[in-house]
Structure 1
């Protein structure tokens, strides 16, 4: 992030693997940065904790279940004890499949339990983060609050159907973030709030669905992270409340 702040304080939500871990690795290469990184399960965060050993002063790891508002509040309090400002927050937590939870191909597969689970992780957790982190954005420096969404959450781009829970929860995320951006503009006007589509990235989330993805459209984690950081670096205040793809283009709602 091209930011004159010294130091820059960043928070990456969902850093145990995949794109979140990639962001941590990339940001650690930048000078004068403090990174707060969250993980849900310690046993899945071995690489993150190896980085913590390598960068003990810059990297701070905290456990977080994004469906637990008390833990989100405690995370905000923990960071506030360390610093009064955040300058970059990226929420990388999302779910598409997990065990018996799989994207629905038809109405026959819809269940209220699965729909609620999609919304708790893909939508509600993000707006709770925006709620509890707001005090850390009440400063005069340019800052970014970004959430990984998905092009599949675009209502205007939905021409194939299916994947009800994932599509709907990401569409809800986009609406929540758009609404957050309006309130943040009043309360912390230097903060740019955006949804980001990372493209299809070679992670556990996309792995079962990669067979039909063209080779040049299946991104490595490093490429995705670099592309999204480039988008983030070029955001201006007028971009707050928008939905951007990995190449910097705006996506339809």
Structure 2
């Protein structure tokens, strides 16, 4: 029986698709999938799409996000109990993680910070008014262990590290505010580990075989973590095992 709704933002990523399949399999939640492009197979299956709404956004500017929120408002009135924000970038044809100070580039940094930190916060900002209420809701944002300042022992990857550290700080700050005016919302920053996706392909060579995860495994772990994590008026920074990571 469908009793709730789940929103997945950045629904065209490989992990997001696996999350959608997990939720569709449980058959107790409608899905609202949001992406800039559904042409790459973000759909689960035609059968599963019976209880799925697809929302295409032009980009991730404030205006486009606001338009998406208006579309969400027209969906089923069932409460939204989970929001997964899966946006992010590590590399592209023109952007590579910096190995040395000499590699640092302001244009690349601005692009990475926008995708990894500012875009997730814009979604949280625009979604919060429709999530506030009596029903508990968890917002899960994909972060990374390399965004932990206390855990940084290797250096390098300036833009990616900084963007995830900035994201973590804003999530922690938002959680403090929401504890005062939106107690039903819980924020989780999630580190999925090294997952076998296009994002990690160039960096898999030195990953131990048992530490390169499938998207299906990560999705299953995440759903268990989401179910077990209590509403405690704070932000949690958790890895794929459910263990806390130092900020």
Contact map agreement 1:67 1:120 (CA 8 A) in 2: no
Match of 1:19 in 2: 15
Contact map agreement 1:202 1:218 (CA 8 A) in 2: yes
Match of 1:203 in 2: 197
Contact map agreement 1:144 1:193 (CA 8 A) in 2: yes
Match of 2:67 in 1: 74
Deviations 1:84-107 (A, max 9, x none): 531100111110001111101111
Contact map agreement 2:55 2:71 (CA 8 A) in 1: no
Contact map agreement 1:194 1:239 (CA 8 A) in 2: no
Separation (CA, whole Å) in 1 of partners of 2:90 and 2:122:
20
Q: TM-score, normalised by structure 2?
A: 0.95
User: Once superposed, what is the RMSD of the aligned Cα atoms?
Assistant: 1.6
Separation (CA, whole Å) in 2 of partners of 1:60 and 1:115:
34
Match of 1:171 in 2: 165
How many aligned residue pairs are there? Answer: 246
Separation (CA, whole Å) in 2 of partners of 1:193 and 1:110:
31
Deviations 1:105-160 (A, max 9, x none): 11111111110001100000111111110122112122100101000101001011
- Cα separation, partners in 2 of 1:119 and 1:231, compared to 1, 3 Å: same
Contact map agreement 1:67 1:124 (CA 8 A) in 2: no
Moved over 3 A (4+): none
| Cα drift, residue 61 of structure 1 | 1.1
* Bigger mean CA offset, 206-215 vs 27-36: 27-36
Identify which of 124, 137, 155 aligns with 2:149: 155
Identify which of 21, 44, 48 aligns with 1:55: 48
Separation (CA, whole Å) in 1 of partners of 2:172 and 2:108:
25
Separation (CA, whole Å) in 1 of partners of 2:64 and 2:216:
29
Separation (CA, whole Å) in 2 of partners of 1:178 and 1:136:
20
Separation (CA, whole Å) in 1 of partners of 2:49 and 2:102:
50
Separation (CA, whole Å) in 2 of partners of 1:88 and 1:50:
18
- Cα separation, partners in 2 of 1:153 and 1:133, compared to 1, 3 Å: same
- Cα separation, partners in 2 of 1:112 and 1:178, compared to 1, 3 Å: same
Contact map agreement 1:14 1:21 (CA 8 A) in 2: no
Q: TM-score, normalised by structure 1?
A: 0.92
Secondary structure, counterpart of 1:77 in structure 2: helix
Mapping for residues 76-115 of structure 1, pairs under 5 Å = 76-84=69-77, 85-115=79-109
Q: Which runs of 5+ in 1 are unaligned?
A: none
| Cα drift, residue 187 of structure 1 | 2.2
Q: Which runs of 5+ in 2 are unaligned?
A: none
Secondary structure, counterpart of 1:43 in structure 2: coil
Contact map agreement 1:8 1:87 (CA 8 A) in 2: yes
- Cα separation, partners in 2 of 1:171 and 1:237, compared to 1, 3 Å: same
| Cα drift, residue 48 of structure 1 | 2.3
1:32 paired with 2:28, answer yes
